[in-house]
Structure 1
Amino acid sequence: MTAKIEKKVFEQLTEYRPWGSFTILADEDDHKVKRIEVNPGQRLSLQRHKYRQEHWIIISGEALVTLDNQKITLKKGESVDIARGQVHRVENKGKKPVVFIEVQLGDYFGEDDIERLEDDYGRIEEK
């Protein structure tokens, strides 16, 4: 039996943020996958999502993850699951970039599903 190989053209998009960057690796109806890089001394906003859950696996560096009121240190090969509505953040206190893969599962994956509770870069919108 021969395996069927299908080539799809997919343009990877990298978006740069004050804390680092993310590259979209897959964007489907039922999931989205990103490669996220957090620069040394930087962190993402403290946030939560209404429409998606996330799974993060660390590729390199050491990440300090806030999950609700808990702080967890994750190293290469370690992972964490973030439920819908759970408050979370990733921070890089090291001298090398933190790189991780984020798998999103849910009903909607737009960037406007980020509710920022704290942000070092002034991106909290007044409600």
Structure 2
Amino acid sequence: MKKDKSSFSIKPHYQKINKPWGYEIILTPENSPVTGKILHLDDNKRFSLQYHDIKIETLTLFSGEAYIILENEKGKMEKIKMEKNKGYHVRPFQKHRCQGIKDCLIFEASTREEGETVRLEDDYGRGTETEAKRMQRGKGKVYMG
């Protein structure tokens, strides 16, 4: 059986998107079933308090200091100082956010970007992100390289 190698690529993927809390670097192509990101969270900034209806993610602190705020099994929010090199798993509909104590790098491994990101609180006035909004151009300054 001959294998189709037409989708093989040796070119690395890099897409940097500036965010109000820092920036993210997307390491995987859009059509990938999984997503890998490096999130740079600035000192004293935080992500939205949010949940995803489909996406599953694991967040790992690589450098700096940050809190992760996660909804526990009783529906209560818990603020936890992230431990470096340990994974914090976030399920669909689980409320969560990260908050920088010092500038930090967080690695996000997740299923693809699909469904909605429902923002419950956002310091920057952003609303819920739908698939249609995600596809719009100009979501942030993009660098490809």
Same fold (TM over 0.5): yes
3-state SS of 2:56 partner: strand
Q: Which runs of 5+ in 1 are unaligned?
A: 1-5
How do residues 51-90 of structure 1 correspond to structure 2 at under 5 angstroms?
51-68=54-71, 69-90=77-98
Residue 109 (structure 1) aligned to one of 113, 119, 129: 113
Structure 2: which 5+ residue stretches go unaligned? 1-7, 72-76, 129-145
State yes or no: 1:18 paired with 2:16: no
CA distance in 1 between counterparts of 2:116 and 2:37 reads 15
Distance in 1 of aligned mates of 2:116 and 2:110? 12
Match of 2:48 among 45, 50, 61: 45
- Whether contact under 8 Å (2:52, 2:94) holds in the other structure is yes
RMSD of the alignment, in Å?
Answer: 1.8
TM-score (norm 2): 0.73
Aligned residues of 2:40 and 2:104 also touching (Cα < 8 A)? yes
CA distance in 2, matches of 1:21, 1:45: 14
Deviations 1:26-49 (A, max 9, x none): 135321110000000100100000
Show the counterpart of 1:98.
104
Per-residue Cα deviation, 1:88-110 (whole angstroms, up to 9, x for no partner): 0000123xx110110112xx514
